[in-house]
Structure 1
Amino acid sequence: MSSVIYTQIPRCARDLLDQIAAFPVADLHEALGAIEGRMRLLSPRMRPIGVSQRAVGQAVTSYNYPGDNLMIHAALKVAQRGDMLVLVNGGVSQGALWGDVATTFAMEKGIAGVVADGPVRDTDAVRSMGFNVWSTIVSPAHPEKRGPGSVNIPVVCDGVLIEPGDIIAADDDGVLVIPVRLAAETAARARRRNETEQEVRKQIRAGKTLFEIMNIQKYVDAADIAVVDGVCPGLAGGQR
């Protein structure tokens, strides 16, 4: 495929992004379901460089040749306020994809955050600016600006397919990809899950145990797990 920069992504309604932003990644992950949720959750390698990070926005993707970051500048040019930049270079450690100067410009433009499958640098400075960055690698490795590369094409980021315009939800727990076609249903499920958890908390404060509230006994029974009212044999004071 030839290098190409697409200047536009499929856009969704702002209120849909706001609905997604109302919930943490954990609730959204569960709301996607067992299959979609696992397929679209980036691995624990993708970590926030700061604390209390949280961002939601549509993906502007940037594929960079290993050791090069030319295309992150093209992505910065075409991205709009509230977008999330998704930067990839195949996950190699050569050539920092992000740093403090790019952060300064991104903040001026109103970019929501960056997800980088590859190295970022100037992390102290970026943290001090309060900008949201998640990455798989931290390294000061020098980047070239020669290309090839592309912007706003489908990319694989930390093992997950991300298409331009997909909704990226990220917080201190991790990074999740939500296709726009699933966003409304995911938000509705997350809302119901949140309401259920609020009710559970009320019951806990009323004195009930999680074992009771969640009816854990039925899972114990289904797994045919024995319950012995005693100490494990072989321990001091245990059964003989």
Structure 2
Amino acid sequence: MNEMKPVAYTRIPRIDKSLIERASQNSVADLHEGLGAIAGRRCLLSTAMRPVWPGAGTCGQAITCYNYPGDNLLLHIAAKLAEPGDVIVATNGGSAQGALWGDMITYYAQRKGIAGAVVDGAVRDTGRVREMGFPVFSTAISVSHPEKRGPGSANVPVVVAGVTVNPGDLIVADDDGVLAIPPELVETAVANAEARAAKESGFRDKLDEGATMYDLLGLERDVAACGLTEIEGTWRGAVPPDA
């Protein structure tokens, strides 16, 4: 069997910029719901993926890279290939050995106009990353020294925090988590998210007028279907309904 050779693809399929802009105006929660129950779960990265600093958020297409554990050479290749507005999505299989991301690559990425980074592996220099205000999400923090020898690949499908991310997927991230949305699902996700946000805005108006969430969500039928019994009194003193 021939040994697999490192490879870097220079292009990704592009999503219309106006659609990316619309997506950026929605929360991860609304887009997750907008994808539906199955796709929403399939696109949602593990909760191990967290923002390096509170309030971080990003939206852009994925430039992916796989790095050998302890090495970040291919991350630098991905950063070279990325265009303004793209998001670097890097993995070494989730190992904390060899920090994939730090302050100098942050400085370079910010100057280049890269929109953010999602790292399944270690990030370091987090204080300076926070000071620069560059959105980075990661599964680990460690100062562990990275080599730059390879092997690895760029702009190939990678598994990141439990989700397969393809080059060109739309990455949307905020305090709640990270989504990787395939291009063919973006328009539906955005349209549904916008409708959901508009509906919830109307809910707030009705709540201000005294409505209850129980009524607004129409939960009476769901409560009846689950067989819930309401008993008058406290759990200590009430008479069971079948006594």
Using the TM superposition, give the Cα deviation of residue 211 of structure 1 relative to its aligned residue in structure 2, in angstroms. Answer: 1.0
Indicate the residue corresponding to 1:126 in structure 2: 129
2:166 and 2:55 map into 1 onto residues whose CA distance is 26
Q: Percent identity?
A: 50
Indicate the residue corresponding to 1:35 in structure 2: 38
1:90 aligns with 2:101: no
1:180 and 1:192 map into 2 onto residues whose CA distance is 20
Using the TM superposition, give the Cα deviation of residue 51 of structure 1 relative to its aligned residue in structure 2, in angstroms. Answer: 1.6
Indicate the residue corresponding to 1:194 in structure 2: 197
Instruction: Work out which of the residue numbers 188, 206, 225 in structure 2 matches 1:185.
Output: 188
Secondary structure of 2:7's match?
coil
2:95 and 2:55 map into 1 onto residues whose CA distance is 27
Secondary structure of 1:232's match?
coil
For 1:50-199, what aligned pairs fall within 5 Å after superposition?
Answer: 50-199=53-202
1:82 aligned partner, one-letter code = G
TM-score normalised by the chain length of structure 1? 0.97
Indicate the residue corresponding to 1:225 in structure 2: 228
State the aligned residue count: 236
Using the TM superposition, give the Cα deviation of residue 239 of structure 1 relative to its aligned residue in structure 2, in angstroms. Answer: 2.7
Cα deviation digits, residues 53-103 of structure 1 (max 9, x gap)? 111000000100011001111011110000000000000110000000000
Residue segments in structure 2 that go unaligned for 5+ positions in a row: none
TM-score normalised by the chain length of structure 2? 0.95
1:199 aligned partner, one-letter code = G
1:9 aligns with 2:12: yes
Of the structure 1 ranges 28-37 and 208-217, higher mean CA displacement relative to structure 2 is found in 208-217
Using the TM superposition, give the Cα deviation of residue 112 of structure 1 relative to its aligned residue in structure 2, in angstroms. Answer: 0.3
1:186 aligned partner, one-letter code = A
Cα deviation digits, residues 168-226 of structure 1 (max 9, x gap)? 00011100011111111111111111111111111100101111111222111110011
2:43 and 2:216 map into 1 onto residues whose CA distance is 30
Q: CA RMSD of the aligned region, Å?
A: 0.8
